[in-house]
Amino acid sequence: MNHMALRGVWRHDEPLSHHTSWRVGGVAKSFYQPADRLDLIAFLKQLPVEEPLLWLGLGSNLLVRDGGFRGTVVATRGCVNDVSMSGDGLVVVESGASCAMVARFVARQGRVGTEFLAGIPGTMGGALAMNAGAFGSVTWERVRSVETLSRQGRVQVRYPSHFQIGYRQVEGPPGEWFLSARLITEAGDVEAGQAAIKRLLERRSQSQPIGLPSCGSVFRNPDGDHAARLIEAAGLKGEVIGGAMVSEKHANFIINTGQATASDIERLIDRIRDRVEARSGIRLQTEVHIVGEGGEGA
C-alpha cells in the first residue's frame, strides 16, 4: 500500500470505545481519519477490495462488540465536515458534519427547515443512511441530491429517486456511501429559527438522559406505537445487566453506568426484545447497528 500520498491519520489497533457514544467496543485493526474529501477518495482507491470497511461518524448509533472490528474503520468526524450555502437556498453538507452543527449554521443564515436536525445526535452521513428524524421531521424530506462514494473512490451524484426511503431505513445502490448532501431550506426569520432549536433541545433534555453514555434510541417505533411505552409497560425501566441499564428517564435508552461492556448492552437489548414480545406480541427492531466480533465468552 502506498501510505506516502495520504495526508490523514492512520492508526492500528485503535480502541473503538474512544469513538462511540456508548463508550464500549473492542479495537479496530486499522483506523483512518482522512484529511478531507480528496484524501478520503485517495485512501479508498488504495484500499484492498476485500478489506472489510466500517464508516464511523459520531458513533452515536453504533454498538461495536467487545472483540472489535477486523477491518478498516474510516472516521469522518471532524474532517469531512464542510457546510456551505449554495446560491439557490440549498445547504451543501459533507457527511462528517454533525447534524446539530448543520441546524445552527442554517439558522445563522436566516434560513429555516432544518431545525429538527439539532435533535439528532450524529453526523449527516449517519442521518442520511438511516433517514434519522426528530420532532416529527425526517432527513430525506429535505434532500435535493446527494453525492455517494464507491469502494473504489468514485464519486457520483444521486437523487432521492435512486433510493428506497422508509422509516429509519434507506436502501440505495450497493457498495456506495454518502459523501455529501444538498438540503432544501427556506428563507425565514433567523431569531425564530434559533429559538425553535433552543426549544427543541430543551424538550429533548427534559425527556432524554442527555450527558450519560447512550446511543440515542435503541429500537425503532413500531407502527402506531412507541418502543419506550412498550418497554416501560413490560416493567423494564431501570433493568440492569452488568454496567448496562434501561434509562429511568426514557425507556428506549440504554445507559452505560460506567463499567458496561458491549456484551452487557447486547444482552440487555435481547432481554428487552424478548420480554416486550412475550408481553405484547410485538418484536421490536433495533435502530442501532451492531457490528464486530463477539468478545471473550460471547
What is the distance between the alpha carbons of residues 283 and 105, in angstroms, rounded to a whole number?
39
56: helix, strand or coil: strand
The values of phi and psi at residue 141, to 5°, are: -60, -25
Domain residues of the chain, as ranges?
9-75, 83-207, 227-291
Which member of 144, 151, 158, 168 is catalytic? 168
Based on C-alpha coordinates, what's the Rg of the chain?
19
CB 215 within 8 A of CB 177: no
Which member of 21, 98, 214, 217 is catalytic? 217
How many secondary structure helices (H) and strands (E) does the chain include?
Answer: 6, 20
168 is catalytic: yes
CATH topology classification for 83-207: 3.30.465
Per-residue model confidence as pLDDT tens for the chain (298 residues) = 445 589 999 999 999 999 999 999 999 999 999 999 999 999 999 999 889 999 998 888 899 999 999 999 999 988 899 999 997 889 999 999 999 899 999 988 989 899 899 888 889 999 999 898 887 889 999 999 999 999 889 999 999 999 999 888 899 998 899 999 999 999 887 787 778 778 877 777 666 666 788 888 899 999 899 999 999 999 999 999 999 999 998 899 999 999 999 999 999 999 999 999 999 999 999 989 999 987 653 3
Which grid coordinates are listed for 165? 426511503
Q: Output the CA–CA distances (angstroms, integers) from residue 176 to 43, 124, 149, 153, 263, in the order listed.
A: 15, 15, 5, 9, 30
Q: Which CATH class is domain 227-291?
A: alpha beta
217 is catalytic: yes
Pairing of strands 90-94, 176-184: antiparallel
The values of phi and psi at residue 93, to 5°, are: -130, 125
144 is catalytic: no
Task: Identify the DSSP state of 252.
Answer: T
CATH topology classification for 9-75: 3.30.43
Return the residue matching grid coordinates 452521513: 125
Which grid coordinates are listed for 161? 429517486
